[in-house]
Copies of this chain bind each other. A is one copy, B any other.
């Protein structure tokens, strides 16, 4: 059996449009919020549990005058108006969400109302759905579209929106709500790297919504953190393997490390998990290269962890503490600034990572 039916033509790079990525971005989130210090008091938990433990200051929430359709309509209209865009210039529109108010009719078709006056109905794309991944899937699809023969020269519009609410309990302070709209095209200021994405997709029941009449998900918090960190490990490994292969082809033989990143943004269920993720990536760097300097520098004092195994350390407090400390500077420089909206509005699910831009 064939395993690889083909490969990219050698001259392909010269054929795709230049610098495909995000040309413009718009965000919308509710004007009302819950102060997390108030929520700590209301829930009768220790002061600091949500604000310091989770790293959250405020949590946006929707009134009964808003739903997923209105969030997305608002953010699209804002994007179009702020950039003086004609509705004719959009050739693709898709929505990533897991907040449904109808099991069949997509949010995308609702957004088509905005296009009615222009008469533009020749627009591909639809809703993509899987927990927080839907927005990213939509964005990847839009970029692929622009590099494919299906592209007709127009922009793609990617909308990610969700209302995150949890039942009373531990997960409740990790709620939030909002929507992001991204205009995707060539000659973008924010460009997507080609051929280097690392994906990890697995069948797990850490977060799902089996109760059709409830807006609350079923969450296994501990398993969900393990899934997040394990997916991070896998994606970073795949990414490094791909970039190493590319570098080797170019004649360079060295390890990729976090120093090679200008900035790092993450899907942000709550800010503390993002901070732990930076620590986790540093642990990956540390375990991935036995020759790293441990006498001084960021890895000094970490020799004791030379032989730990990634899959044994999801909840290892010693490892976490040591690498949180070691990565503190890295976090402050390359990630902290991205968490403003996450800290002030909470988890938006699908748009969460794009709110960090």
On A, residues with C-beta under 8 Å from B are: 1-9, 11-17, 23, 83-86, 88-89, 93, 98, 100-106, 108-113, 116, 121-131, 133-134, 137, 140-141, 143-145, 147-155, 185-187, 194-195, 197-205, 207-210, 212-213, 217, 234, 238
Contacts and interface: CB of A to CB of B under 8 A. Distances in A.
Interface centre among A3, A112, A128 (most CB of B within 10 A): A128
A22 B166 CA distance: 42
A5 B186 contact: yes
Contacts of A129: 104, 106, 126-129
A202 to B, nearest CB: 6
A4 B154 CA distance: 5
Nearest to A184: B5
Contacts of A6: 17, 153, 185-187
Contacts of A141: 141, 144
Contact of A147 (B23, B134, B148): B148
A154 B4 CA distance: 5
A126 B212 CA distance: 20
A25 B199 CA distance: 26
A104 B113 contact: no
Contacts of A154: 3-5
Given A8-B153, A131-B104, A217-B104, A140 B116 contact: no
Given A123-B199, A195-B150, A201-B123, A12 B9 contact: no
Interface centre among A86, A111, A145, A203 (most CB of B within 10 A): A203
Contacts of A14: 9, 11, 15
Contact of A155 (B5, B7, B126, B207): B5
A168 to B, nearest CB: 19
Contacts of A131: 104-106
Contacts of A203: 109-113, 116
Given A17-B6, A122-B199, A149-B194, A209 B137 contact: no
Given A98-B104, A141-B141, A217-B104, A153 B5 contact: yes
Contacts of A133: 126
B204 A152 contact: no
A194 B148 CA distance: 9
Given A3-B86, A126-B130, A148 B153 contact: no
Contacts of A121: 199-202, 234
